[in-house]
A and B are shown apart, each in its own frame.
Chain A
């Protein structure tokens, strides 16, 4: 079921990329040799609904969808004048950086907001957020593409910390079996119980990981 979903999403992306190509060809005045049958869209600028608490997004660097069609994003937060209300003293009444992980229901309502560095030091939050995946249990996997981001974190749907896969703060090594190198995205093969990491910005490999043990299989 979930795998099928992922395949469908992948397929849609391929079509979307193809459509972009079609659009470009049209703009350049190149006639298509044949009409295509393709998914048709319109933008909904009123999705999602406005965030509470004067929260704003920073760079939104990852998106994924779970089995209930809840949409999860990860963003990098805002600083300086854009986070005027976070300064000491506050520069203005707006705005504050929203927590990095935001979950929306299909109607665009914010369901949960969580994430960020551990207050107790039990995990190392990425220095630069990048990509996330949601597994069949509803757990959220998070990579990163900043310095020291040689690991992947797993959280429950509610944002409770569960696991760290790979050791943080490791130098790039695409053949290493104990860490990654700035993982940019995470997808799953639930039947095989395998996670695929796009690895990444420092390493140059695809890492396939056992979803139970977190061991790198190939």
Chain B
């Protein structure tokens, strides 16, 4: 099922320094920093955090959703039932020390903000790109957990309304709206929940993970937003047909199920998260299929590959994969796509994950993760350097003094 990466990646093996050889078999090691970022100003709280990126200057940007709160006892300063809490704006930018630099964005600001913002990325000019997803509003999917009430009865809920975010927005670094590509409310033919972006500065192109309703990688002209080309799984022509539920015993799907990332490496390969198929597929920038890897193939639900980020070394030796079903970050060797180890485990304490959705890495190799849904936070994992790890799954990486 897995093929060896050919071409550019392999040639980079030539000229490996002695320093790298010293690290043979070692992987980056981490501990969680539970005190990053600094507390928000009272009474602000984060909504579901659906995307994270690190700007070239080291600042960390996240995009949050403003839905999903428990209206009965959570946003009391909004509902008038208490003094805390109030959701922040949609985009937050933190300095490397964890202090909040600015917040902006969200609905009712004079631009077509996505119903369910999902992706955030900084382009080579320093502008911010925002994509969306697919929102299921109302209907029978009420909040989970409830307040001990069961049985309920009453009239059946109205059918849910499905909203597809078929637009992409571009902003200046400080939140000034610059451009909207596509429009909201489009069916087939528009974007179908643009869940991730990466940029090819030399070619002036944007790679879009598109997405939830569409099932393709689509390449845009970075200046005009025009669609230049697109492809599906294995480089096939895209097909937006609903593949139904993933079946581990079925032959490999010849189309993407959910495309949630499309990340361009330094050596010109596009790494695509096919979340619902539990796999990463690798392409050349023209859409030629190169290789693939399947992670935790028994995973059902939304799938094991939500987002990826590269280690910051020039070779980008490691790939960090956010696995939001098994609630861990898997570390892969980028060239072989072989699993090395993972960190994180389900839960709400530091180093645990609840609906892990996105991952980013800064220039020092520190890893940032964000949790969607009921998780609603960003966490920082401090890079402690290379080490030998024997555990397949390391669990929550508390600082050594607290283990």
Chain A residues engaging chain B, CB cutoff 8 angstroms: 24, 27, 45-51, 54, 56-59, 76, 79-82, 84, 89-95, 127-128, 130, 145-147
Contact = CB atoms under 8 A, between A and B. Distances in A.
Nearest to A59: B145
A46 B350 contact: yes
Nearest to B346: A95
Contacts of B399: 46
Interface string B184-195: 000000000000
Contacts of A147: 148, 150-151
Interface stretch (B173-181, B235-243, B320-328): B320-328
Given A79-B144, A80-B144, A93-B296, A50 B347 contact: yes
Nearest to A46: B402
A84 B145 contact: no
State the main secondary structure of chain B at its contact with A. Answer: loop
A54 B346 contact: yes
A91 B148 contact: no
Contacts of A82: 144, 346, 354, 374
A77 B97 CA distance: 36
A57 B374 CA distance: 13
A49 B349 CA distance: 9
A54 B345 contact: yes
B329 to A, nearest CB: 13
Contacts of A24: 83
B403 interface: yes
Contacts of B396: 50
Contact of A50 (B299, B345, B354): B345
Contact of B150 (A27, A50, A84, A127): A127
Nearest to B393: A93
A46 B300 contact: no
14 contacts: A27-B42, A46-B34, A46-B398, A47-B402, A56-B348, A57-B348, A79-B144, A82-B346, A89-B300, A90-B298, A93-B299, A95-B327, A128-B148, A147-B150
B37 to A, nearest CB: 13
Given A56-B346, A79-B144, A94-B328, A45 B150 contact: no
B347 A95 contact: yes
Given A46-B399, A49-B403, 4 more contacts: A50-B352, A54-B345, A93-B326, A130-B148
B304 interface: yes
Nearest to A144: B148
Contacts of A48: 349
A15 B327 CA distance: 38
A203 to B, nearest CB: 15
Residue with the greatest number of chain B CB neighbours at <10 A, chosen from A24, A90, A91, A92: A92
Contacts of B398: 46, 49-50
Interface string B338-363: 00000001111111101000000000
A46 B33 CA distance: 10
Question: How big is the B interface, by class?
Answer: 35 or more
A46 B399 CA distance: 8
Contacts of A145: 148
Residue with the greatest number of chain A CB neighbours at <10 A, chosen from B328, B345, B348: B345
Contacts of A95: 327, 345-347
Contacts of B351: 50
Residue with the greatest number of chain B CB neighbours at <10 A, chosen from A49, A57, A94, A147: A94
A48 B34 CA distance: 13
A216 B327 CA distance: 48
Residue with the greatest number of chain A CB neighbours at <10 A, chosen from B148, B301, B402, B403: B148
A83 B360 CA distance: 26
A87 B140 CA distance: 21
Contacts of B328: 94
- Nearest 6 A-B pairs (CB), nearest first? A95-B346, A46-B402, A128-B148, A45-B34, A92-B325, A94-B346
A197 B151 CA distance: 27
A84 B34 contact: no
B327 A94 contact: yes
Interface in B292-331: 296, 298-301, 304, 325-328
Nearest to B403: A49
A146 B301 contact: no
A169 to B, nearest CB: 14
Nearest to B350: A45
Nearest to B352: A50
A16 B298 CA distance: 48
Contact of A91 (B144, B301, B403): B301
A27 B399 CA distance: 33
Contacts of B35: 45
B395 interface: yes
A92 B349 contact: no
B148 A146 contact: yes
A58 to B, nearest CB: 7
Contacts of B395: 50
B342 to A, nearest CB: 10
Contacts of B34: 45-46
Nearest to B323: A92
B122 to A, nearest CB: 29
Contacts of B349: 45, 48, 50
Nearest to A77: B145
Interface string B4-36: 000000000000000000000000000000110
A92 B299 contact: yes
A47 B350 CA distance: 10
Contact of B148 (A47, A54, A84, A127): A127
Contacts of B299: 91-93
